[in-house]
Amino acid sequence: MEKIPVAVLGATGTVGQKFIALLDGHPFFQVHEVVASSRSAGKSYKEACEWKQDSFIPTGIASLTVKGTEEDLESRICFSGLDASVAGEVEERYARAGKVVISNSKNHRMDPDVPLIIPEVNSDHFKITKKQPYSGAIITNSNCSTMFLAMALAPIYKNFGLEAVQVTTLQAISGAGYPGVPSMDILGNVIPYIGEEEEKMEREVVKILGSFDGERIVPADFAVSAQCNRVAVFDGHTETLSIKLKKKATPEEIREVLKSFRGIPQELSLPSAPSEPILVFDEPNRPQPARDVWKNRGMSTCVGRIRPCPVFDIKMVILGHNTVRGAAGAAILNGETYVKLGYLK
């Protein structure tokens, strides 16, 4: 297929850089435009960007002239890593101009007519974009900590139902962006507060696992209680879960539905899709960020320590790469799914 020209919004930031790195050599998409704030506009990308990835700036991107967020774009799809302080208005303007905006930003996630997509879980929610007041569309992916929680819960909810979920997160410093958390705050320490994180998890999971009834997204019918902590790990959010089921199940049954879980991206063999969206570990001390976060190029959710819970029914540990599957990689997979399902006209 002829490559689709795309723009990266917020291209000089942490998520924007990850978009640039992950889109290098992509079989569907070609980075055609890079967009950032007025401070960067008019400069070459190399001049404007303090590159922090573990690879070189891709050939051809370094010399692109950065456009400002008020400029018109040629690209059909915009991948947005814009800061929340500006993302809402900018994304709406491009959607009104006919662009499909696939956003990692929080601003539109809970809008009633905006889908919050994990394509293995709820790709049917793309249909609600037809009800948006734009000639283009806005599509979002979840908060990074929500991503892995929703992925792990999806097959459990489908097979056994859920009544309640308690989750505690141990979130990597890269989730705070660059320069992130001051070293004297995080080294040798745990910070038991991340602004708005708990509320995002509690709201977003039930939207993702909800159903589209043709008119609206009906939230899933279970409660989520989240407690979020920042820890001195570079990449990888670890989460511990206790789950109350509607239909009782053994740890072995839970393990099997997680291991066998597949979705539309796997059926379509999409380029960013992991062959196993959920990796189940047998070792009693896994998953671990230092050893497992890059499994399947950082696109899988890792699950381990599935065992009975004496308060609820089942408890487990999950892990995911917060800047890949939890951010830019998730948005790119959303774009691939949107295109292959025929929504891009």
DSSP 66-121: PEETTS----SEEEE---HHHHHHHHHHHHHTT-EEEE-SSTTTT-TTS-B--HHH
Share of the chain above pLDDT 70, in %: 100
Mean predicted confidence (pLDDT) in 11-27: 97
Q: Is the full-model pTM beyond 0.85?
A: yes
At 257 the pLDDT is 98
pLDDT in tens, 39-90: 999 999 999 999 999 899 998 999 999 999 999 999 999 999 999 999 999 9
Q: What is 144-322's CATH topology? A: Dihydrodipicolinate Reductase; domain 2 (3.30.360)
Query: Could you give the angle at the alpha carbon of 224 between the alpha carbons of 219 and 228, nearest 5°?
Result: 130
> pLDDT grade, residue 1 (50/70/90)?
confident
In the residue annotation, 32 being an active-site residue is answered as no
Which segments of the chain belong to CATH 3.30.360.10?
Answer: 144-322
Helix (H, G, I), strand (E, B) or coil at 306: strand
At 291 the pLDDT is 98
Q: Could you confirm whether domain 4-143+328-340 is CATH 3.40.50.720?
A: yes
In the residue annotation, 237 being an active-site residue is answered as yes
Q: Of 144, 228, 302, 321, which is the active-site residue?
A: 144
Q: Of 108, 237, 302, 321, which is the active-site residue?
A: 237
pLDDT in tens, 287-314: 999 999 999 999 999 999 999 999 999 9
At 68 the pLDDT is 97
Average predicted confidence (pLDDT) for the chain: 97
Which segments of the chain belong to CATH 3.40.50.720?
Answer: 4-143+328-340
CB within 8 A of 23, min separation 6: which ones? 6, 8, 29, 30, 31, 58, 79, 332
